[in-house]
């Protein structure tokens, strides 16, 4: 049974943490350490949610983790899903928050994965918590904004984004500008492909419902995410030397696949799974095999 608890941090903030607990076939195994969680290999995976989401663990992820005996955790980033704000946070801020969550849960080592807006935050944990994170996976995730093509190998950060990345361009002007944009922004159905809508109408319908719940609670989390994405992240992705998996669909209109290609070129130990026909939501069908990859990477 999934549980939720509020973890109080040293600065007095609280983060809402979701925990799947024991996976199928629970029991310590080779490589399991104190607090590493139940499961055949003792693997715990911390999921970084997209933007906007509540941080709750979604059923497709829970089902995949249970079959594999993986303990799955997630948390709501500041201003999402019951977590208190962290004004001025950057992408790197996720690492210190996750470190305190791990301390509270008694975790010594774990893997991280994130999708879309969660991808950069997973990379932050890999870069800044190398002694605790065993492997990292980013699915349809962004590259750092410093790599936006302004003198950097010709990579145009916004190229291929639906609506020319209007919300992120607004965030370039600062938090107030991004918040004003949100007041009048309307959903553009063209950002998703037919495959995306098929996924949202099927196994990943819970994703759409969760995004609606997050949006109904306010836009602060989303606004802070976008500002963090287009300002310095606070770490060097080139410093990540643990196993790093990048997964991207060739038809992605939200985060074009060039972002993962850029990350691949700079990752010390990175590999890319490119799915030419998949897009931003449909690519989530790879989550179960991504978990298999994380488990294999953690064993080496």
Quick: pLDDT tens for 181-204: 999 999 999 999 999 999 999 999
pLDDT at 215: 97
For the chain, give the mean pLDDT: 92
Token pair belonging to 280:
């931003």
pLDDT at 155: 84
CATH T-level topology, domain 3-298: Rossmann fold (3.40.50)
Close Cβ partners of 38 (under 8 Å, ≥ 6 residues apart): 21, 22, 23, 26, 27, 28, 69, 71
pLDDT at 269: 96
Stretch 247-274: mean pLDDT, rounded? 97
Stretch 267-284: mean pLDDT, rounded? 97
Stretch 84-105: mean pLDDT, rounded? 98
Q: Distance between CA atoms of 236 and 135, rounded to whole angstroms?
A: 16
pLDDT at 57: 98
pLDDT at 107: 97
Give tens-digit pLDDT for 14-39.
999 999 995 433 333 333 333 444 44
Q: Distance between CA atoms of 157 and 148, rounded to whole angstroms?
A: 4
Domains of the chain, by residue range, sit at: 3-298
Stretch 108-121: mean pLDDT, rounded? 98
Stretch 4-13: mean pLDDT, rounded? 98
Close Cβ partners of 227 (under 8 Å, ≥ 6 residues apart): 171, 174, 175, 178
How many CA atoms lie less than 13 Å away from 152 in the CB half-sphere?
Answer: 16
pLDDT over 50 (residue 154)? yes
More confident residue, 295 or 27: 295
pLDDT at 108: 96
pLDDT over 70 (residue 287)? yes
Task: Identify the three-state secondary structure at position 72.
Answer: strand
Stretch 73-92: mean pLDDT, rounded? 98
Task: Identify the band that residue 50 occupies on the pLDDT scale cut at 50, 70 and 90.
Answer: very high
Stretch 192-221: mean pLDDT, rounded? 98
pLDDT over 70 (residue 85)? yes
Task: Identify the band that residue 150 occupies on the pLDDT scale cut at 50, 70 and 90.
Answer: low
pLDDT at 151: 40
Stretch 32-48: mean pLDDT, rounded? 64
Task: Identify the band that residue 300 occupies on the pLDDT scale cut at 50, 70 and 90.
Answer: confident
pLDDT over 70 (residue 149)? no
pLDDT at 128: 98
Token pair belonging to 212:
């609606």
Task: Identify the three-state secondary structure at position 46.
Answer: strand
């Amino acid at each position: 049974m999934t549980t939720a608890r509020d973890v109080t941090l040293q600065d007095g903030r609280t983060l809402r943490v979701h925990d799947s607990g024991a996976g199928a076939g629970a029991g310590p195994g080779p490589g399991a350490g104190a607090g590493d969680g139940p499961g055949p290999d003792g693997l715990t995976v911390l999921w970084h949610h997209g933007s906007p989401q509540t941080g709750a663990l979604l059923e497709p992820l829970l089902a995949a983790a249970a079959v594999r005996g993986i303990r799955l955790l997630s948390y709501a980033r500041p201003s999402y899903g019951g977590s208190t704000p962290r004004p001025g946070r950057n992408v790197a801020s996720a690492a210190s928050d996750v470190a305190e969550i791990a301390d509270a849960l008694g975790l010594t080592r774990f893997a991280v994965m994130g999708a879309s807006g969660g991808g950069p935050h997973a990379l932050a944990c890999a870069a800044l918590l190398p002694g605790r994170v065993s492997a990292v996976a980013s699915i349809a995730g962004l590259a750092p904004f410093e790599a936006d093509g302004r003198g950097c190998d010709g990579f145009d950060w916004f190229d291929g984004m639906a609506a020319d990345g209007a919300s992120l361009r607004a965030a370039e002007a600062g938090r107030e500008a991004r918040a004003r944009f949100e007041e009048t922004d309307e959903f553009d159905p063209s950002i998703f492909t037919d495959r995306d809508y098929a996924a949202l109408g099927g196994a990943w319908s819970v994703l759409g419902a969760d995004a609606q719940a997050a949006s109904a609670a306010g836009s602060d989390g989303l606004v802070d995410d976008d500002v963090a994405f287009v300002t310095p992240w606070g770490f060097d992705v080139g410093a990540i030397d643990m196993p790093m998996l990048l997964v991207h669909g060739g038809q992605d209109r939200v985060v074009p696949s060039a972002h993962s290609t850029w990350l691949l070129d700079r990752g010390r130990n990175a590999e890319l799974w490119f799915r030419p026909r998949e897009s931003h939501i449909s690519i989530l069908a790879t989550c179960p095999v991504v978990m298999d990859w994380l488990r294999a990477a953690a064993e080496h």
